[in-house]
Amino acid sequence: MTSVTSFSVGIVGAGLCGLMAAEQLATSGHRVLVVDRGGSPGGRLATRRSGSAVFDHGAQFFTVRSERFRADVDAWLEAGVVAEWCQGFEEIDGYPRYRAEGGMANLARHLADRATRAGATIVTKVTTTAVIPGADGWTLNHDHWVREPDDVDAILLTAPVPESLQLLRAGGVKLSDASLDDLRYHRCLALMVTTGASPTLPATGAMQQPDDPTFSFVADNAVKGISPVTALTFHTSHALSADLWDLSDEDIRRRLAPAAAEAVGLTADDFDRVQLKKWKYTGPVTPWPDRYAIATEHPRPAVLGGDAFGGPKIEGAVLSGLAAAEALTGLLA
């Protein structure tokens, strides 16, 4: 069991928002602790390896819509961490879609390394169970078999909002804005398929079809450039994901495999292996209007951030982390 105490800022969640905030806060001179229950940083920047196959099964790509995010992406491009995938999946529109070299998880590793070099401490495989207010700050309680409590001056919660609110309520915290309870998320079922057959897909290796009732996105990770062999990712539509969510994994795979095969011009018999990942929180139904929310300022600030705030997707998570870090720096001054 290990314990490190007396940090300036405790960040729960090592996804994009948490990692971007951690680097900025550490660079500004704050002592930063990031804790995450996963085995590695990244959240939905998730890449799975199965034999020779490599799958991005969470976030698939990202675009750039703001000058602030453009500066970060340019740095990632220069570092060789990301690359342009295409400029439209089925039709070329001239608008770049970016992927991470070797898989999206590698972008998370790059950001975690940057935050660590700036001075942040990142701890994985730690489940935080409550955030408890004290006289001068906060205590982060964790699974006590893994890590003893950590004392921090302020906290940034970047997990999905329902999970963050649960941590606050476990510590007896009353929210500054009760409407945070109204934030709802889409769900997504992700199929990962290996096959020795040749799928029928556009030249880019992907189809983005937000209005399709079955699959909103389909990609061959080999054509994408991250897998040495054919490795298909299927994202099920939000509505169908919700309908199938409570079925067993086996039933979900059995029901979706024929439709997945048909979508790429194959049969279910062509599939060698079908794996499933259930993403319970894949983006807000209606984003919070601001880049972050202050849950409470007593005794010291507790801030919520993530892709539910100010705009979804990768860019939204990045900008939320930067805005939350700036806000915390001001609140702690």
Encode pLDDT of 245-274 as tens digits: 999 999 999 999 999 999 999 999 999 999
| 43-70 mean pLDDT | 96
Q: Which is it for strands 32-35 and 128-133: parallel, antiparallel or unpaired?
A: unpaired
User: 219 pairs with which residues across the strands?
Assistant: 206, 233
Residue type, 136: D
Q: What's residue 216's pLDDT?
A: 98
| 49-68 mean pLDDT | 96
Residue 211, token pair as written in the block: 């209005």
Q: What's residue 145's pLDDT?
A: 85
Measured between alpha carbons, how far is residue 283 from residues 177, 188, 259, 309 in Å? 20, 10, 24, 10
| 203-218 mean pLDDT | 97
Q: What's residue 135's pLDDT?
A: 86
Q: What is the pLDDT of residues 223-240, one digit of tens each?
A: 999 999 999 999 999 999
Q: Report how far residue 120's alpha carbon sits from residue 32's, in angstroms, rounded to the nearest whole number.
A: 5
Residue 4 has pLDDT above 60, yes or no: no
Residue 210 has pLDDT above 80, yes or no: yes
Q: What is the pLDDT of residues 109-144, one digit of tens each?
A: 999 999 999 999 999 999 999 999 998 899 999 998
Report H helices in 155-237.
Answer: 161-170, 221-224
Q: Report how far residue 11's alpha carbon sits from residue 145's, in angstroms, rounded to the nearest whole number.
A: 20
Q: Report how far residue 274's alpha carbon sits from residue 276's, in angstroms, rounded to the nearest whole number.
A: 7
Which residues does 184 contact at the CB level (< 8 Å), separation at least 6? 284, 285, 286
- CATH number of the domain at 7-45+66-183+286-332, please? 3.50.50.60
Residues of the chain with CATH 3.90.660.10: 188-279
Under the banding of pLDDT at 50, 70 and 90, the label for residue 1 is very low
Under the banding of pLDDT at 50, 70 and 90, the label for residue 312 is confident
Which residues does 83 contact at the CB level (< 8 Å), separation at least 6? 77, 98, 99, 100, 101, 225
Residues of the chain with CATH 3.50.50.60: 7-45+66-183+286-332
**Average pLDDT, whole number, for the chain?**
95
Radius of gyration of the chain (CA): 20
First-to-last C-alpha distance (Å) of the chain: 33
- CATH number of the domain at 188-279, please? 3.90.660.10
Q: What's residue 333's pLDDT?
A: 83
Q: What's residue 108's pLDDT?
A: 98
pTM of the model: 0.95
Q: What is the pLDDT of residues 92-104, one digit of tens each?
A: 998 999 999 999 9
Measured between alpha carbons, how far is residue 130 from residues 149, 203, 210 in Å? 10, 48, 37
Cis peptide bond prior to 160, omega within 30° of 0: no
Q: Report how far residue 267's alpha carbon sits from residue 66's, in angstroms, rounded to the nearest whole number.
A: 42
Q: Report how far residue 206's alpha carbon sits from residue 233's, in angstroms, rounded to the nearest whole number.
A: 9
Q: What's residue 146's pLDDT?
A: 84
Angle of the 313-332 helix axis to the 16-27 helix axis, nearest 10: 40
Q: What's residue 2's pLDDT?
A: 45
